[in-house]
């Protein structure tokens, strides 16, 4: 007889085999097998579905600092939500960003995965996370990914997220409270980097997942 128990947390499978034994009656053999499981990602937001497409993203562009860049995040079609706009360095600006309020518990997660459906041109984007302390102190924890014109999957270790405020690192910031993520956002900047250029942009984001 063979029966099995699985552990999704440890990604392992335990097999117990029982065979007849003349002295004890039954002899058990326990076998632990490591599973290579592809679909262990937990979906945090699926922008291809109507239930998530209604997330209320608000724009936080360089206009807050006197610039004139402009962006928004809207649901366009089955390919996901579209973060788009026009970024310019006029009036000392140079970035577009958007964010949505969330109530996420990422306890135990090590990696975020951003799945992009397409883009109008290659670009270097950032995803940002905020806990209550970061929100109160105008800080966001950011990680960069480069999106191409075709669909792509971008895995971002949470240990690589860095706290920043107004484009500068915040070295004395408390650790990110993964149990209480209250905001998720995206950013495109043309300041001090080579890939992005001023002008219009559009990025379709399909999903955000974690594991």
CA–CA separation, 203 and 148 (whole Å)? 9
Q: Report which of residues 52 and 3 the model is more confident about.
A: 52
Same domain, 143 and 173: yes
Same domain, 126 and 161: yes
Q: How far apart are CA 14 and CA 37, in angstroms?
A: 15
Please give the share of the chain, as a percent, with pLDDT higher than 90: 72
- Domain region containing 13: 2-34
Q: Are residues 100 and 138 in the same domain?
A: yes
Residue 55: the pLDDT is: 76
Distance between CA atoms of residues 26 and 24, nearest Å:
6
CA dist 106 and 104 (Å) reads 6
Write 11-17 long-range contacts (CB < 8 A, 24+). 11/35, 11/36, 11/37, 11/40
Please count the residues of the chain.
Answer: 211
Statement: residue 127 has pLDDT above 60? yes
Q: 32-81: per-residue pLDDT in tens?
A: 444 444 469 999 999 998 876 557 899 999 998 999 999 999 976 788 99
Are 134 and 179 in the same domain? yes
pLDDT at 19: 53
Interval 136-144 mean pLDDT:
97
- Sign of the four-CA dihedral 33, 34, 38, 41: positive
Q: What is the pLDDT of residues 158-174, one digit of tens each?
A: 999 999 998 899 999 99
Mean pLDDT of 12-32: 49
Average pLDDT over residues 98-126: 97
Report the domain count for the chain. Answer: 2
So what's the pLDDT on residue 193? 81
Q: Which domain CATH number covers 164?
A: 2.60.120.430
**Residue 148 scores a pLDDT above 60:** yes
Whole-number Cα distances in Å, 153 to 42, 147, 157, 194, 207: 15, 9, 13, 22, 9
**Model-wide pTM > 0.75:** yes
Helix (H) or strand (E) holding 152: strand 152-157
pLDDT at 198: 97
And the tokens for 150?
């075709």
- Looking at the fold, whether 93 and 139 belong to one and the same domain comes out as yes
**Over residues 190-211, mean pLDDT:** 95
- pLDDT value, residue 194: 84
Mean pLDDT of 102-113: 97
24 and 72 co-located in one domain: no
* DSSP H helices in the chain: 50-53, 132-136
Helix H or strand E encompassing 61: none
Statement to judge: residues 143 and 111 lie in one domain: yes
Two tokens at 78?
């089955």
Residues 107 and 196 in one domain: yes
Q: Which residue has the tokens 């499978």?
A: 13
Q: Is the domain of 79 the same as that of 29?
A: no
* 100 & 190 share domain: yes
By percentage, how much of the chain surpasses pLDDT 70?
80
Regarding whether 127 and 53 lie in a shared domain, the answer is yes
Could you tell me if 75 and 26 lie in one domain?
A: no
């Amino acid at each position: 007889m063979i029966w099995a128990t699985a552990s999704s947390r440890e990604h392992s499978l335990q097999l117990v085999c029982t065979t007849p034994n003349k002295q004890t009656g039954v002899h058990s053999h326990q076998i632990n097998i490591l599973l290579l499981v592809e679909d262990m990602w937990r979906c945090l937001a699926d922008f291809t579905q109507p239930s998530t497409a209604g997330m209320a993203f608000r724009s936080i562009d360089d206009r807050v600092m006197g610039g004139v860049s402009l962006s928004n995040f809207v649901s366009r079609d089955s390919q996901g939500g579209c973060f788009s706009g026009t970024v310019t360095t006029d009036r000392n600006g140079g970035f577009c960003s958007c964010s949505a309020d969330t109530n996420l518990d990422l306890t135990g997660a090590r990696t975020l995965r951003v799945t992009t459906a397409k883009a109008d041109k290659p670009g270097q984007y950032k995803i940002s996370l905020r806990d209550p302390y970061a929100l109160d102190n105008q800080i966001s924890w950011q990680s960069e990914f480069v999106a191409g014109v075709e669909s792509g999957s971008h895995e971002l270790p949470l240990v690589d997220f860095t706290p920043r405020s107004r484009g500068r690192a915040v070295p004395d910031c408390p650790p990110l409270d993964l149990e209480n993520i209250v905001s998720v956002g995206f950013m495109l900047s043309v300041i001090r980097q080579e890939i992005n250029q001023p002008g219009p942009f559009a990025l379709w984001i399909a999903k955000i997942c974690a594991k």
